[in-house]
Amino acid sequence: MRFDFIDLRLFLAVAEAGSITHGAAQVGLSLAAASDRLREMEATGDVRLLERGRRGVALTEAGEALSHHAREILNQATLMRGEMGRFARGLRTNIRVVANTAAIVEVLPSRLSPWLAAHPQVDVELRERQSQEIARSIAAGFADIGVLSDAAAHEGLLLKPFAVSKLVVVSAKTHRLAMEKETRFAGLAEQYFVGLEGGALQDHIDAQADRIGVRLRYRVRLRTFESICAAASDGVGIAIVPDTVARRCKRAYPLALTSLADAWATRNLSVCVASGRDPTPTVQALFDHLASA
């Protein structure tokens, strides 16, 4: 069998996503190109690797075996590049970091900047994901370092404390919530909301609504936290944002802040790498920095 690194990365991405479409997008291939590569892998080895169905794909026994070896091969290749980077002048290193919304908007930028300034040959590829996705990506070897809620499944991960993130409700000072110090999410079901167009935090909020059988009513979805805070201050609707964002925006807009009493609104964030897998020296250095800051 002759599989290249692109084949192996594609196969692992499809296996993790349970979908050829999503796996192809993960590695930057079109659906047609990804499908051709997967068919060629099966034809070359004369073995079925994927069971295809209307709801996605699942690994066959042969696919499970390939998945295990593909992770080992790609991990060794990463270690090799890192080791060679210690001897090659001018060689740049790329670290793949996945983090949830709270980490990206609240803490991670200020933690990353001084480390990157001290390591000019290192680039960071930062992606936003939900915590459960982050756990799977790190364990599967699709990313090097993750920052996630420690409530997520963490089998196969080495975690260290990172930060505490709290979500709050922001509203206009004339809104009835402005008089309340704390509220429960279920009590907001009849309110109109301002939300984000997308992202891990917005998905997390909508998932909590689904969990209690509520469909939130959004008047508008905007691109940034600053824009939804501005809309909330004008009385367009209420919004749920990280506490640090709300306090920063309160300096610019007439906002009221109300704490969310639900347990899911307070999250202990952890930084993680895959356990049982030796990271490159550069990845280890960044992990240690994020864990100790």
> What pLDDT score does 199 carry?
83
Tokens 């908007």 map to which residue? 105
> What pLDDT score does 82 carry?
66
Pick the CATH number of 5-84 from 1.10.10.60, 3.40.630.30, 3.40.50.1100, 1.10.10.10: 1.10.10.10
Whether 260 shows a pLDDT value over 70: the answer reads yes
Name 147's bridge partners.
99, 271
- With contact defined as beta carbons under 8 Å apart, do 23 and 10 qualify? yes
The residue that leads in pLDDT, 278 or 158, is 158
Q: How far apart are CA 287 and CA 277, in angstroms?
A: 14
Q: What mean pLDDT comes out for the span 249-265?
A: 95
Q: Taking the CB of residue 144, how many other CB atoms lie within 10 A of it?
A: 25
CATH of the domain spanning 164-266? 3.40.190.290
User: Coil, strand or helix: which one is 267?
Assistant: strand
Would the CATH topology of 5-84 be identical to that of 164-266?
no
**C-alpha of 264 from chain center:** 17
Give the mean pLDDT of the chain. Answer: 89
Closest CA relative to residue 268, chosen from 98, 97, 96, 107: 107
Q: How far apart are CA 26 and CA 10, in angstroms?
A: 8
Q: What is the pLDDT of residues 264-275, one digit of tens each?
A: 999 899 999 998
By residue count, the chain amounts to 293
> What pLDDT score does 54 carry?
82
Q: How far apart are CA 271 and CA 157, in angstroms?
A: 10
User: How do 217-222 and 192-196 pair as beta strands?
Assistant: parallel
The residue that leads in pLDDT, 3 or 285, is 285
Which one of 42-46, 122-126, 199-203 scores highest in mean pLDDT? 122-126
Q: How far apart are CA 33 and CA 193, in angstroms?
A: 41
Q: What is the pLDDT of residues 25-51, one digit of tens each?
A: 888 889 999 999 999 998 888 899 999
Angle at which helices 5-17 and 31-45 cross, to 10°: 110
Where do the domains of the chain lie?
5-84, 86-161+268-292, 164-266
Least confident of 16-30, 75-89, 184-198, 263-277: 75-89
What type of residue sits at position 119? Answer: H
CATH of the domain spanning 86-161+268-292? 3.40.190.10
Q: How far apart are CA 70 and CA 16, in angstroms?
A: 13
Tokens 């740049």 map to which residue? 92
Closest CA relative to residue 50, chosen from 41, 158, 282: 41
Angle at which helices 20-27 and 5-17 cross, to 10°: 130
> What pLDDT score does 269 carry?
92
Q: Sign of torsion, CA 204 271 151 186?
A: negative
Q: What mean pLDDT comes out for the span 62-81?
A: 82
What is the four-CA torsion angle of 109, 110, 111, 114, rounded to 10 degrees? 110
Q: How far apart are CA 42 and CA 57, in angstroms?
A: 14
**C-alpha of 20 from chain center:** 20
